[in-house]
Amino acid sequence: MPAREDIRNVAIVAHVDHGKTTLVDAMLWQSGSFRENQDVAERVMDSMDLEREKGITILAKNTAVRHGGTKINIVDTPGHADFGGEVERALRMVDGVLLLVDASEGPLPQTRFVLRKALEARLPVVLVVNKVDRPDARVDEVVNEVYELFLDLDADESQIEFPIVYCNARAGTAGLTADPSDLESTLEPLFDTLLRTIPPPSFEDGHPLQALVANLDASPYVGRLAICRIANGTVRKGQQIGWCRIDGTVERAKVTELYVTEALDRVDAEEAGPGEIVAIAGIPEVTIGETLADPDDPRALPVVAVDEPSLSMTIGINSSPVAGQEGSKLTAPMVRQRLDQELVGNVSLRVVATERPDAWEVQGRGELQLAVLVELMRREGFELTVGKPEVVTREVEGKVHEPVERVAIDAPEDYIGVLTQLLALRKGRMEQMVNHGTGWVRLEYLVPARGLIGFRTEFLTETRGTGILHHVFDRYEPWHGELRTRPSGSLVADRRGPTTTFALLNLQERGSLFVGPGVEVYEGMVVGENARAEDLDVNATKEKKLTNIRSSTAEELVRLIPPRPLSLEQALEFIRDDECVEVTPASIRLRKVELSASKRQQAASRRARARD
């Protein structure tokens, strides 16, 4: 088959924070994409507000650099497990991957996930051992761990013969030997290896047009953009195409705009040939997985299924007594429309109707993915009620199955005892324990996803904030039976009104509080965590009786422990089955699903009677 020697398409994949976006920065600078004095943000590909705030990549994005006469299209992908759908999609656009591995951390759960996907797609791999400048780098061991990972994933011989490049992405230097002092002053060894290892895109001569829609973007001027990889043929601006839809039908459409990528810009193109990655405007309803083809001979490319969602939560309109005061988007149709819009660009999400007309079950890959969606909606002005995350179960041969996650934990060895205990309670099975001999151990577990909901907070408390925890979906297994949940109960406000210092002073004896003085609360709102297992209805608005002993307000404020407001992710981890989170642009409040204290009590005594 003929090939486009002038093009390479490559995706950069790795576990979170191993340096993908930093490496793309260096590749852009060294290929002359920017003027010398140009003011370019660090990790420039992380262009979304939320990405910059969280310091992680959320959406896969394209860029292109030129090296010699070759154009290298690069897809930067997110490393966080919840955004694995982005990686699966990116792999459909490329002919090979750079697999980055941190020289100290070594392969972690998401490394395994992305490598498995790359091997399944039979994409050639260049191993990039990054951060070799770290004082705790253990380059040789890490390389061996990667070989083990390949074997573990049943790679065949040709796949295991991958080239290795050693890198300091931050400094933009690379070398071909494991000795960090041997790095060249540029990324030349990486570019070289990439051009030799990643094959140029091949195509069939004379084959009619076929372009696979692998991603979507939106432009304020021309509307929806289909990001496609052209498999065969040539596409021209203004031409008619056959739009092969997911449902098997074919419609005619017109390419109104055609763009290719140069560095960070989309530039107009008159035509683009096989192997190129282009953005096409003119088809407002196009979605991922569809094919743009020759109108007279439309042949759809195969649709590849992505992994199923494993976690779900309900998102509905805000139903609290203080709804409507802080947001601008409040109604059910608005929420529904926004969720539909998200589905278009996010193949790893599902939306399912519930019994209620104003709430939907949203299914995704993990808590962070779902929290990011809620956070985006909140910033757009939505007020929402968000339910407790739950796992998506499946029926296999008449039995209920649940998702199981692969967990990797790094922690000081002193905590081995308590961690094994915590994970045993959650029905975790230890797969591996490695002592690096540095006082730190790595534990690998398989744990039902259910047991990990709310685990992070407890994990950080138990390891005094030192432990590192990562997990990624591994498989479905038969239901593991009952699991223990949060050991503490909630302090629940029993009436509406502003909180008082006096009331909070008394309440802080019982547990830790989420609100400070002067905060408007309502019946059924959770104001703190009860140290005991049961819930407690409390009056957080009580005023002090006047007495003749004076104590100044200032003095009382000093005795008040600062509240521990929960972030959205923490709130979602914290809540129990009968609780939910109220989200508005200004606030995050925890509450009972049933607000009325008397109704909750009735329900509790009914349950107690049923048990007897």
Ligand X SMILES: Nc1nc2c(ncn2[C@@H]2O[C@H](COP(=O)(O)OP(=O)(O)OP(=O)(O)O)[C@@H](O)[C@H]2O)c(=O)[nH]1
Nearer to Mg ion, 49 or 577 (CB): 49
The yes or no reply on residue 131 touching ligand X (CB under 6 A) is yes
Smallest distance from ligand X to CB 27, Å: 12
The yes or no reply on residue 61 touching Mg ion (CB under 5 A) is no
In contact, 355 and 397? CB cutoff 8 Å: no
The yes or no reply on residue 138 touching ligand X (CB under 6 A) is no
Interacting span for ligand X (CB under 6 A) from 19-27, 176-184, 322-330, 488-496: 19-27
Q: Structure tokens of 220?
A: 């304020």
The yes or no reply on residue 169 touching ligand X (CB under 6 A) is yes
Q: How far apart are CA 494 and CA 542, in angstroms?
A: 11
Among 9, 31, 33, 57, contact with Mg ion (rule: CB under 5 A): 57
Smallest distance from Mg ion to CB 19, Å: 8
Binds 363: which of Mg ion, ligand X, none (CB < 5-8 Å by kind): none
Rounded to the nearest 10°, the torsion over CA 520, 526, 527, 528 is -170
Among 14, 93, 391, 572, contact with ligand X (rule: CB under 6 A): 14
Q: How far apart are CA 461 and CA 463, in angstroms?
A: 6
In contact, 363 and 350? CB cutoff 8 Å: yes
Nearer to Mg ion, 100 or 209 (CB): 100
Which pairs with CB-CB distance under 8 Å and at least 24 residues apart come from 140-145?
140/178, 141/106, 142/101, 142/102, 142/103, 142/104, 142/106, 142/107, 143/178, 145/106, 145/107
For the chain, the farthest-separated pair of C-alpha atoms sits apart, in whole angstroms, at 97
Angle CA 578–582–587, to nearest 5: 145
Smallest distance from ligand X to CB 230, Å: 27
Smallest distance from ligand X to CB 473, Å: 17
In contact, 448 and 484? CB cutoff 8 Å: no
In contact, 282 and 253? CB cutoff 8 Å: yes
Smallest distance from ligand X to CB 562, Å: 29
Smallest distance from Mg ion to CB 17, Å: 8
Among 33, 168, 463, 570, contact with ligand X (rule: CB under 6 A): 168
Among 7, 9, 10, 21, contact with ligand X (rule: CB under 6 A): 21
Smallest distance from ligand X to CB 65, Å: 16
Interacting span for Mg ion (CB under 5 A) from 49-57, 173-181, 297-305, 430-438: 49-57
Smallest distance from ligand X to CB 372, Å: 12
Q: Which residue is nearest to ligand X (CB)?
A: 79
Binds 133: which of Mg ion, ligand X, none (CB < 5-8 Å by kind): ligand X
The yes or no reply on residue 170 touching ligand X (CB under 6 A) is yes
Nearer to ligand X, 31 or 77 (CB): 77
The yes or no reply on residue 106 touching ligand X (CB under 6 A) is no
Gap between the terminal Cα atoms of the chain: 75
Nearer to ligand X, 78 or 298 (CB): 78
Among positions 497-526, residues that touch ligand X (CB under 6 A) are none
Smallest distance from ligand X to CB 421, Å: 31
Site size for Mg ion (CB under 5 A): 3
Q: What is the CA radius of gyration of the chain?
A: 27
Smallest distance from ligand X to CB 51, Å: 8
Among positions 9-38, residues that touch Mg ion (CB under 5 A) are 20-21
Rounded to the nearest 10°, the torsion over CA 276, 279, 285, 288 is 50
The yes or no reply on residue 16 touching ligand X (CB under 6 A) is yes
Closest of 305, 297, 288 to residue 245, by C-alpha: 288
Binds 131: which of Mg ion, ligand X, none (CB < 5-8 Å by kind): ligand X
Write out the DSSP string of 577-606: TTEEEEE-SS-EEEEESS--HHHHHHHHHH
Among 10, 11, 19, 233, contact with ligand X (rule: CB under 6 A): 19
In contact, 189 and 165? CB cutoff 8 Å: yes
The yes or no reply on residue 63 touching ligand X (CB under 6 A) is no
Nearer to Mg ion, 55 or 478 (CB): 55
The yes or no reply on residue 187 touching ligand X (CB under 6 A) is no
Which 3 state secondary structure label does DSSP give 576?
coil
**H or E stretch covering 218:** strand 210-219
Nearer to ligand X, 164 or 536 (CB): 164
Smallest distance from ligand X to CB 47, Å: 12
In contact, 497 and 538? CB cutoff 8 Å: no
The yes or no reply on residue 131 touching Mg ion (CB under 5 A) is no
Among 4, 20, 427, 600, contact with ligand X (rule: CB under 6 A): 20
Binds 170: which of ligand X, Mg ion, none (CB < 5-8 Å by kind): ligand X
Among 9, 22, 62, 318, contact with ligand X (rule: CB under 6 A): 22
Q: How far apart are CA 111 and CA 16, in angstroms?
A: 9
Closest of 480, 473, 469 to residue 444, by C-alpha: 469
Nearer to ligand X, 50 or 433 (CB): 50
Smallest distance from ligand X to CB 91, Å: 16
The yes or no reply on residue 73 touching Mg ion (CB under 5 A) is no
* Per-residue contact string for residues 66-95; x = within reach of ligand X by CB under 6 A: ------------xxx---------------
Task: List Cα–Cα distances, 535 to 439, 483, 492, 565, 599, in angstroms.
Answer: 40, 19, 7, 19, 14
Nearer to ligand X, 134 or 299 (CB): 134
Closest of 22, 74, 16 to residue 43, by C-alpha: 22
Q: How far apart are CA 373 and CA 351, in angstroms?
A: 12
Rounded to the nearest 10°, the torsion over CA 359, 363, 369, 371 is 20
Site size for ligand X (CB under 6 A): 21
- Cβ-Cβ contacts under 8 Å for 203 (sequence gap 6 or more): 1, 2, 3, 4, 231, 232, 233, 274, 275
Positions that interact with Mg ion (CB under 5 A): 20-21, 57
Instruction: Give the residues lining the site for ligand X (CB under 6 A).
Output: 14, 16-22, 43, 56-57, 78-80, 130-131, 133-134, 168-170
